């Protein structure tokens, strides 16, 4: 009887180890890849890659690899004021040992530009909301006009005050900025849902 119990324990232990996944873990600012160390993830966890692409009159990339644990997998978010001032974040998960071995992954790079028309502007060294100098049509119908102010540390380490107005994806509206890689923000004030926006100009007639 004792022999049977020992065999069952060994069998159960073997099953539990099989369920654990090995993933790469690392974090790198101002880079498109990082050398990850191998870690054992909790049961039920996937391997995750968090990628960011930021435009602040220069393009910055940053990447983090980790176990997904309880974080939401496979989604993206963005905000932008112009072609030179923007932020894109993609969270990608995969199944299997060490599957998160690649570099930066930026998803959803093509858009319909059928969203609301929003005022846009951006400035540094100020926390006052900037005055709009033009407008832009947002990428998707579910986007919102937004404003953002806060202290900003760029991936290259330069710190400044920052303010911007433009478009923001619906997922970004409820984002707490905790998953941003490389771009550190603090003292954030932002408006999104509930911030009045105008429909796209000259909408196509419905059939």
Look at residue 207 and tell me if it is in a domain. Answer: no
d(CA 180, CA 41): 21
Element (H, E) at 3: helix 2-19
Residue 67 lies inside a defined structural domain of this protein: yes
For 167, the 3-state DSSP assignment is strand
Domain total of the chain: 1
User: What's the CATH number where 91 sits?
Assistant: 2.10.60.10
Check residue 19 and give its pLDDT.
67
Q: For residue 7, is it within any domain?
A: no
Contact 154, 135 (CB under 8 A): no
pLDDT at residue 134, as a whole number:
94
Residue 15 lies in a domain: no
CA distance 161 to 183: 13
CA distance 148 to 60: 19
> Does any domain span residue 163?
yes
Structural domain containing residue 134 = 21-191
Of the candidates 125, 126, 124, 164, the residue with the CA atom closest to the CA atom of residue 145: 164
Q: Interior CA angle at 74 toward 70 and 79, to 5°?
A: 105
The pTM of this model reads 0.79
Which sign, positive or negative, has the C-alpha torsion 78, 84, 85, 87? positive
**pLDDT score recorded for residue 176:** 64
Q: What is the pLDDT along the chain (207 residues), one digit of tens a residue?
A: 555 444 444 444 444 445 689 999 999 999 999 988 999 999 989 999 999 999 998 999 999 999 998 788 998 889 999 889 999 999 999 999 999 999 999 887 788 899 999 999 999 889 999 999 899 999 999 999 999 899 999 888 889 999 999 999 988 887 666 668 888 888 888 887 544 444 443 334 333
- Residue 79 placed within a domain: yes
Tokens standing for residue 81: 């004021």
CB 157 within 8 A of CB 179: no
In a domain, 176, yes or no: yes
Is residue 40 one of the residues assigned to a domain? yes
Q: Identify the pLDDT of residue 202.
A: 37
Contacts of 65 (CB under 8 A, 6+ apart): 23, 24, 25, 26, 27, 34, 36, 47, 48, 49, 50, 100
């Amino acid at each position: 009887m004792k022999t049977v119990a020992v065999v069952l324990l060994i069998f159960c232990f073997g099953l539990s180890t099989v369920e654990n996944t090995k993933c790469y873990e690392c974090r790198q600012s101002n880079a498109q890849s990082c050398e990850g160390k191998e870690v054992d993830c909790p049961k039920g966890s996937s391997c995750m890659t968090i990628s960011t692409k930021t435009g602040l009159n220069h393009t910055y990339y940053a990447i983090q690899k980790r176990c997904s644990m309880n974080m939401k997998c496979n989604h993206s978010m963005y905000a932008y004021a112009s072609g030179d001032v923007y932020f894109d974040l993609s969270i990608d998960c995969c199944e299997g040992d060490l599957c998160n071995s690649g570099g930066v992954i930026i998803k959803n790079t093509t858009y319909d530009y059928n969203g609301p028309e929003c005022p846009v502007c951006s400035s540094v060294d100020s926390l006052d909301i900037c005055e709009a100098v033009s407008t832009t049509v947002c990428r998707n119908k579910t986007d919102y006009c937004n404003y953002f102010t806060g202290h900003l540390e760029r991936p290259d380490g330069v710190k400044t005050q920052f303010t911007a107005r433009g478009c923001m994806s619906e997922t970004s509206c409820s984002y707490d900025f905790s998953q941003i890689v490389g771009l550190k923000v603090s003292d954030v004030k932002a408006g999104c849902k509930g911030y009045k926006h105008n429909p796209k100009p000259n909408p196509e007639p419905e059939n």
